[in-house]
């Protein structure tokens, strides 16, 4: 999953609501709504346009004033979960 040549973004069929410190997300044909509180909401907002993992880590670490390495595992886990739920998709660059 890691590697700067892969970019991530919100899947096109997702629907969301910003309710302050949390973003609620679902997708078409689903009855399940996911809550993305705190840092997860920062990740979601950043995924509105395609972003690489290093870029994402940099943005979140800047927002929370922590080292990127300190949050890397959590952000990767979150991305995996969001991809498993078809809320986020990978875009693989054709010319690396």
- Interacting residue ranges for other proteins, rule: CB under 8 A: 12-20, 22, 24-31, 33, 35
Cα-based angle 7, 9, 13 (whole degrees, multiple of 5): 145
Q: Which of 21/96 has CB closer to other proteins? A: 21
Structure tokens at 45: 């907002």
Q: Which of 35/54 has CB closer to other proteins? A: 35
Pairing between β-strand 51-52 and β-strand 14-18 as defined by DSSP bridges: unpaired
Rounded least distance, CB 20 to other proteins, Å? 7
Q: Give the number of other CB atoms < 10 A from CB of residue 7.
A: 18
Rounded least distance, CB 60 to other proteins, Å? 23
């Amino acid at each position: 999953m890691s590697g700067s040549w892969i970019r991530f973004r919100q899947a096109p069929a997702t629907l969301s609501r910003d309710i302050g410190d949390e973003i609620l997300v679902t997708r078409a044909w689903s009855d399940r709504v996911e809550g993305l509180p705190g840092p997860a909401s920062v990740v979601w907002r950043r995924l509105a346009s395609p972003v690489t993992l290093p870029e994402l880590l940099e943005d979140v670490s800047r927002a929370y004033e922590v080292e990127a390495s300190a949050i890397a595992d959590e952000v990767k886990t979150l991305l995996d979960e969001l991809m498993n739920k078809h809320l986020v998709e990978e875009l693989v660059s054709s010319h690396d």
